[in-house]
Amino acid sequence: MFKGPGETAEFCRELRERSFEGVDVVVCPPYVSLSVAVQLLAGTEIGVAAQNVHWERNGAFTGEISAAMLNELGVYGAIVGHSERRQYFGETDETAAKRARAALDQGLFVIACVGETEEERERGETEDVLHRQVSAFEPDEHLVIAYEPVWAIGTGKTATPDLAQDAHAFVKTLIDAPVLYGGSVKPENASELLAQSDVDGALVGGASLDLDSFTAICQAAVPVGS
């Protein structure tokens, strides 16, 4: 919940001046800032996605936004099942899957988030949790999975590159989809994380709020030789 329309406009104006050749870049501002982001990033290769989406097209769901509404705005896609939605707002595997299906049926791309808590990791349940969460989603050419270990979000902790690689490789045994890493990704650790063979990109949190920081992470994802 950062960057209203004014801050988003400033961010996007500067962002469109940066070079991101060889890497796919998507920004996911709050609902109130989606329209200005779409307008200012029009004509660029930078996509704009929402942070959430509802599974119904319309109805008595006060406070929710449908995939059709996002589509009308010109939005590229949506995140579903983010750990903060699961932790604070009662998101479940079932509701995350319903949101994903609605967005995909509307022609949007979906970044579906999965990941274990620190307690689940300590109990050795990481693979069980990932299996349950990933299995809720149906394979789709427009579906991307984001592995975000909950214990590494906003804590300053980061999965080691080897740990991230192992989790990503396991997720890919469950579903045929690109897998992003999300968990305290910063310019200092992005290159090493993104160099892992099964890490296909990053879902960047706090480090995306600063333009130079976000740019550095995006550039760390550019394939060698591009």
Give the catalytic positions in this structure.
82, 148
Helices (H) and strands (E) in the chain, counts: 10, 6
Please state, in angstroms and rounded to a whole number, the distance separating the CA atoms of residues 137 and 100. Answer: 7
Q: Which residues pair with 179 in a beta bridge?
A: 145
Neighbours of 124 (CB within 10 A): 8
Q: Which residues pair with 180 in a beta bridge?
A: 146
Q: Which tokens belong to 72?
A: 């009308």
**What's the sign of the alpha-carbon dihedral 201, 76, 172, 22?**
negative
Bridging pattern class, strands 109-114 and 179-181: unpaired
Q: Taking a C-beta distance cutoff of 8 angstroms, is the pair 134, 167 a contact? A: no
Q: Taking a C-beta distance cutoff of 8 angstroms, is the pair 88, 154 a contact? A: no
Q: Which tokens belong to 147?
A: 């592995």
